[in-house]
Amino acid sequence: MHELRKDPLLGRWVIVLKEESLGPESYSIGEENPSPDEGPCPLCEGNEKNTPHEITAIREKGTEPDTPHWFTRVIPNFHPILQIEGELNRRGVGMYDAMDGIGANEIVIESPEHGKPPADMGLAQMHRVVSTYKARIFDLQKDPRFRYVIVFKNYGYSAGALFSHPHSQVVATPIIPKRVKEELDGAKLYYNYKDRCIFCDMMREELKTAERVVMENRSFIAFSPYAPRFPFELWIMPKKHSCAFEDISDEEMEDLAMMFMTILLKLRKLLNDPPYNYVLHTAPNRVPRRNHWHTLGEDFHWHIEIMPRLVRTAGFEWGSGFYILPTSPEDGAKYLREV
């Protein structure tokens, strides 16, 4: 079993792959850009027997699990970084803290067709993908061992994609990731000071100035944040205040699917199909904790962060935490609006 270890200085956790620890020969520092998969694709329709047993799927009526005729399909990761069976076994290792690598690591197969992502299959298919995310978060949050469920997509080899077939991932962790906790704590401090949601204030400011807004519809706004980390970074945020993605309504899912599809097509056309990551930031599992999350429903606001991988993160960024933007968010939003 893999292991989670806590950095005592920064308070962040890392996952140590003890069971699959690689030797130096496994690492390549060349500039090649190989395909992330070789041979027949196990994620394609018709190859269901080449994957782990499906967890759930949106499929045609009357069809059985692990057979063709599905629209989206969720399977365990072939090489999961966290294992769903077992207990956390929290322990001290001298001055350090560790626990067993308990969690969930799932692959969401977004399309039955290898070369056709949901954005090219139309609104109905993108809606199915969004609906699958909601269902998986709702189900995984029932497990009291899991503190956080993160949904993310790595598109392109340099962005960390496992396969070239359209897919994303869902990971449930026994701790709240440090990056998310910083957002939660920042939102809580702002709410304690102003008695307002910082995300709602950001959205009102963006709509007022309109400089960084890329598009909006009846339920969502897509904008370049004022101080992004990456050029052409975008956030998608619901106009109605809500801390938890799994509370999204059917009408909102339809609007999100339309916005998601449009934004991804804009990025492809403007930036020549760049590699990118997107991450859903939603509320943690709302297990009552002393002095924590009592105002979560008022101070946090779920959102999706989309980050094209256009520049390399180098020593200055890693060492300082500063990011350098070769394109301003105002110009980035302008270019995307015009596509």
| Residue 54, in any domain of the structure | yes
- pLDDT score of 36: 55
| 134 and 8 co-located in one domain | yes
| 238 and 317 co-located in one domain | yes
What does 58-72 look like in DSSP terms, one character per residue?
A: EE-TTPPTTSS-EEE
Q: Are 145 and 88 in contact (CB under 8 A)?
A: yes
| Residue 233, in any domain of the structure | yes
Q: pTM for this one?
A: 0.93
User: Strand order of the sheet with strand 220-223?
Assistant: 56-59, 70-76, 104-109, 167-173, 148-155, 276-281, 303-308, 234-238, 220-223, 213-216
| 144 and 206 co-located in one domain | no
Task: Return the SS3 of 231.
Answer: coil
Cβ neighbours, 10 Å, residue 29: 4
| 271 and 144 co-located in one domain | no
CATH of the domain at 243: 3.30.428.10
- Which amino acid, one-letter code, is at 37? D
- Show the CA angle centred on residue 110, arms to residues 106 and 111, nearest 5°: 135
Write 266-270 long-range contacts (CB < 8 A, 24+): 266/214, 266/336, 266/339, 267/232, 267/306, 267/308, 267/336, 268/119, 269/339, 270/232, 270/335, 270/336, 270/339
State how far the Cα of 339 lies from the Cα of 328, in Å rounded to an integer. Answer: 17
Q: Where are the alpha helices (DSSP H) in 34-177?
A: 118-121, 123-140
What is the H or E stretch that residue 23 is in?
none
| 137 and 219 co-located in one domain | no
Return the active site residues.
Answer: 167
| Residue 146, in any domain of the structure | yes
| Residue 180, in any domain of the structure | no
| Residue 21, in any domain of the structure | yes
| 25 and 140 co-located in one domain | yes
Range of the domain at 30: 3-173
Nearest to 211 by CA among 201, 226, 199: 226
Radius of gyration of the chain (CA): 20
CA-based torsion, 186, 190, 193, 196: positive or negative: negative
- Show the CA angle centred on residue 179, arms to residues 174 and 185, nearest 5°: 95
| 137 and 206 co-located in one domain | no
Nearest to 119 by CA among 260, 277, 309: 260
State the Cα torsion 81-167-172-75 to the nearest 10°.
-80
- pLDDT score of 39: 73
Cβ-based neighbours of 74, under 8 Å, separated by 6 or more: 54, 55, 56, 57, 106, 107, 108, 109, 132, 136, 170
| Residue 126, in any domain of the structure | yes
| 8 and 145 co-located in one domain | yes
Query: On the CB side of 71, how many CA atoms lie within 13 Å of its CA?
Result: 17
| Residue 96, in any domain of the structure | yes
Task: Return the SS3 of 259.
Answer: helix
List the pLDDT tens digit at each of the 339 positions of the chain.
899 999 999 999 999 998 777 888 877 765 555 555 567 899 999 999 999 999 999 999 999 999 999 999 999 999 999 999 999 999 999 999 999 999 999 999 999 999 899 889 999 999 999 999 999 999 999 999 999 999 999 999 889 999 999 999 999 999 999 999 999 999 999 999 999 999 999 999 999 999 999 999 999 999 999 999 999 999 999 999 999 999 999 999 999 999 999 999 999 999 999 999 999 999 998 765 555 667 899 999 999 999 999 998 899 988 998 999 999 999 999 999 999
CA-based torsion, 13, 19, 24, 26: positive or negative: negative
| 214 and 144 co-located in one domain | no
Write down the residue that tokens 């980035």 correspond to. 332
- pLDDT score of 300: 96
Task: Return the SS3 of 278.
Answer: strand
| 129 and 30 co-located in one domain | yes
| 117 and 205 co-located in one domain | no
